[in-house]
Structure 1
Amino acid sequence: MPDGLWWLPSLVVFAAAAVALVGGLVGLRRLGARRERSALEQGRAGEVRAKGLIVQADNAVREAEREVAFADAQFGPEAAEALRTAVVAARGSLREAFILQQRLDDAEHDTAAERRTWSGRIEDLCGSALASIGEAEAALATRRHAERGAHSDLPALRAQSERLGRRRVEAETMLARLASRFAPSALESARGAVTRVDAALADGTAALAEAGAQLARSEPVADLLGIAADRLERADRDLAEVERFELALAGAQSEAAAEAAALDAELVAARGERDRQDDPDAASALGVAIGDASAVMASRSDVAGDPFADRDRLRAGRDRLEVARAAARNAQQRLDGARGALGGAIAIAESQLRVAEAAIERGRGVVGADARTRLAEAQRQLVMARQEPDPVAALDAARRAAARASDAEALAMYDALGH
């Protein structure tokens, strides 16, 4: 090999090493990517469990919140304090769980380790929330059982369960009859109450069956009877809500009719105010509100089968129209006030102008340009005040004229004293 190429073998060795290094790095990266994908797939089951627990915990918290209100009414705030505290703590845990679930659901790429950590944290938070609410509800159910007296007897609870079952059938018959007259949306709250009744009756019946079996074995049944009595009481409350629903529908129909009459009267008054309005912007805003309210009245047929929706839309339209009318009245009062004050403001400006002109006349050659400029501006503002059709703008111009004239007088006196 020529002496000038002594470096060539070294170059070949280094090149081969570089190629080997790059190949190794690429292989390691591919291996890491495969491992990451595998870890992500293995974590899917945990993420599904976490989602299910969030739903379960959220439902439990909502049900517990209703129980707090009932416990307050039944036993007083002190008896419901444990459940209320559990609900507050569970809500805090759920907030954190929802934030973590949002991270899992967003479009950003997360590592398998991060997703596994977040899923595990969600499971812990929801499990803790469910456990604390379950303990508090069990204590409350025991309290109800202890104070229920005769209702803790198994035969009496079975008889109560049978009565509730018959009422449940009657409630379904009533809802079927109402369904022929009203839209499904109008019956949603009653349907939800029936669903809660079914769940409570199922739980209560299961608890009574287990209590009967344990009683036959001479085993303690107080806890089971307390749970059964609590579930039957929930079913009784929800059934009472369903049974009052037809009256609630009739009341909503009457309220909707009253709201429609009130809104119609508001529209008549609003149209008169719009026609008498001097401020074009206020008149335009009031016209928009009148159009919206008229559209609500015209579209009543769209919700004719849902008196609750009809009543609520009429109320909302009436509220918006009342706000627009108040704004228009304020604008009109502002214009009327400006008209009333304009004459006096112009008189004050004219008087101040005469005083300033006299001060400049007395000073004559010693009064400088500043005072004369203020006087000219005051005269210009006074002309604007007399010619401006908008009373608010005219009032502002008259006040500026008086202020500029006062400045001119002061500057004239300053120049005269300085000379």
Structure 2
Amino acid sequence: MRIARLLPMLLAVLMVGLVAAPGAGAEPPLRLSTQLTDNAGALSPQQHTSVQNALDKLYDQRRIKLWVVFVEDFSGQNALGWTQRTMTMSDFGDDDAVLAVATVDRAFAFQVPSTVTTVSSSDTDDIRRNSITPALRRDDWAGAAIAAANRLNTEPQAAAGMSWPALVIAIGVVLVLAGLLFWWSARRRAKRRKAEFEAAKRVDPTDPNALATVPLEALDELSRSIVVDVDNAVRTSDAELQLAVEEFGPKQTEAFSRAVANAKTALAQAFNVRQILDDAVPETPLQRRDLLTRVIVAAAKADRELDTQSTAFDQLRDLVINAPTRLDGMTQQMVDLTARLTPSQQTLDTLHQQFDAAALSSVAGNVDAAKERLAFADRNMSSARSLVSRPATDQTALVDAVRAAESALGQARTLLDAVDSAATDINRAIAGLPAAITDIQAGVDQANTLLGQRDTPQAAALAAARDAATKAADEARNNGTADPLGTFTRLTKADADLDQLLASVHAQREAAERLARALDQAIDTAQSRIKAVSDFIDTRRGSVGPEARTRLAEAGRQLDAALAKRAGNPNEAVAHANGASTLAAQAQGLANDDVRAAQRSYTSQYGGGGGSDMGAVLGGIIIGNVLRGGLGGGFGGGYGGGRSMGRPTSYGGASRSSGRSYSGGSGRF
């Protein structure tokens, strides 16, 4: 009976033992107390000593601490997740690496911090793939740890030595190549400077804005060239001026004297500036360009004035030399113009019979004025003929007489031509008045339409032009036949002024409308982008970090600024709206990167075994350490509806602790 009563208790104890047995050997993440931990009993005493010696040697020579831990399994977690939590619990620093091996599960993880600058990520991968994994496949636990320590302790390979003859040859080749490169560069630089100088000579030297596009070296060479050329021109002109004064007298050569004096002054200023440029005191590039421009402009203007006066001087000398021939030609002109006086008077009398006196006011006295001009020309021609035979020193008055006669003949011809064309001009004006009135009335109507609208640009000027056009049109309707030419002239001028202002107003309105359309489009685009990014972050709040959210917030501020300035300053509003779109696009890119990193981390830690929970975690629906193994508190300390005080975890297969990233990886063997 006693045995019967004890039997249920024994069965209960046995069941508890059976349930607990499978987890007896499980090894959860732990805080490592020594660099070598063998909880799986994988190492013999001799192997333990060998591994420890390799770890000590690595630290002594490279100050890298490699922590090696052997367990039977990773308590149902993946190798990388178990190792990262062990690293966190062990407070690893910048020089701490780890090799974790599960001897029964046959899985391992190898992590090396990026702060170990002597080991690259490619080196870490090579150690894991070619040194650690082969040893583990042979169950050589000690060999795997020693190989990892030795590879981390390997110095970078030094470059192979070079023999002296090869070194001398290499140096010679380098020197030859350097010489060829120097020669080619100098030749290319000389060709470029020559081309720039030739281009600079084609620029207007009196225009500072045109000279602003010339390279500084070409500008310097141009200034040196132009001061020499102008100095030569001044010297030549000064000598010619002395001869001209002796030949024609001071009065006729006054303009030449003034031009030479101005050129001397400008040249003196140019040489003074060149002295500043050539002294020992250096100038900034901007100061040097300004001084060179002043030299070139001053010298070029002086040279241009000398050229102009030189042409006039040549014409003066030709006039004296060719005076007899010119007088003969003017005599023939006098005969022809005198013969036109009577027909022109008859034409004028006929016009008075056809039109009012007001219509002929501009030509009524033309025939009498032409007679006066011809009489004046005849007197000067007679005077010139008497001066031709005198010595050159007494021919100063000859120039004045010839020029006065030529001018008088030209004016007489113009006066008679105006009488002959008056009838044609008046009839053309009368015929064109109706069309001109219709045209200007259309402009007046268009101006009235624009002035009736709100925010019409240049409203005051447009109203004034419209009133002037209306007045001209009314005058043309009422008095067009009395003075056709004057009326037509005033009408066309008022019409042209109004058309010009209408074109300007239309251009401004079109520009404003285009700007308004561009602003509407920019604001719509910014609003759409900001909403799209905001929705993206909202549905993935558990994985998006602060950078993307900061960009999005600034995009919203820029959009608010655009809306605030929409009416008062559309140009700035467009700039703010475009800035908002750009910031929203940057926020989208950063958010995409965060989400991809979170997805990689989740997959790395759970191997896709989390089912549909990954979407809930990334979306912020599940936060903190809710899932088995957790995400260590969520991205960046727990975004997405709450904040976890856990340690930040890693993404992209590399753990992060205190700003460190790790290379390496995990796997099975």
Give the structure-2-normalised TM-score.
Answer: 0.31
Higher strand share: 2
Of structures 1 and 2, the larger Rg is shown by 2
Between the two structures, name the one with larger relative contact order (CA 8 Å, sep ≥ 6). Answer: 2
Give the structure-1-normalised TM-score.
Answer: 0.46
Higher helix share: 1
